[in-house]
Structure 1
Amino acid sequence: MMWKMVTLLVGLSALAQINEQCVITAGGKPVHVTADGFYDLRAVPAGAPVRLYARCTDASGVVRYGRTEFLQPEAGQLLENLAFSFSASPFPRASALIVAADRTAYTIGKDDPGQLSVTATHASAADLDVADGVGVTYTSSNPAVVSVSATGLIEAIAEGTAVIGVAYDGLRGAITVAVNESGNQATTVEGLVRFADGSPVLGAEVSAGGESGTTDASGQFSFQPLLLESGPLRIAAVKRTDVQYFATSAVIDAVLGGITDGGLLVLSTPRQVDTDGDGILDDYELTLSLPKPPFQFDLNNPDTDGNGILDGAEDDDEDGLPDFYELLIGTSMIQRDSDHPDNSISDGDEDFDSDGLTNLQEFENNSNPYLPDTDGDGVTDLDEVNAGFDPADATSHPKRVGYGRAVSFRRTN
Structure 2
Amino acid sequence: MTKEAAISLWDSSSAEEDYSNEDLGDVTVDVAIVGGGFTGLSTALHCAETGLSAHVIEAKQIGFGGSGRNCGLVNAALWLPPQKVREKLGTTYGPRFIKKFGSGPEYVFSLIEKHQIRCEVTRTGTIHAAHGPSGFVDLKERHKEWVRLGEPVDLLTRSEVSEMIGTKRFFGGLLDHRCGTINPMGYCRGLARAALGAGAKISTGIRAKKLVRDGDLWRVETDKGTLTAKAVVLGTNAYTDELWPDLNRIFTMIHYFQLATKPMGPEADHILPGKQGLWDTGQIMFNIRRDAFDRLLVGSMGKVVGSKDRGLSHRWAKRQIERIFPDLGPVEFDEAWHGQIAMTPDHLPRIYELETNLFTPIGYNGRGITTGTMFGETMAGLLTGMDRTDLPLPMTDMRTVRSAPIFSRIYQSAFTANQVLKAI
Please give the TM-score of this superposition, normalised by the length of structure 2. 0.22
Q: Greater RCO between the two (CA within 8 Å, min separation 6)?
A: 2
Q: Which has the higher helix share?
A: 2
Which protein has the larger Cα radius of gyration, Structure 1 or Structure 2? 1
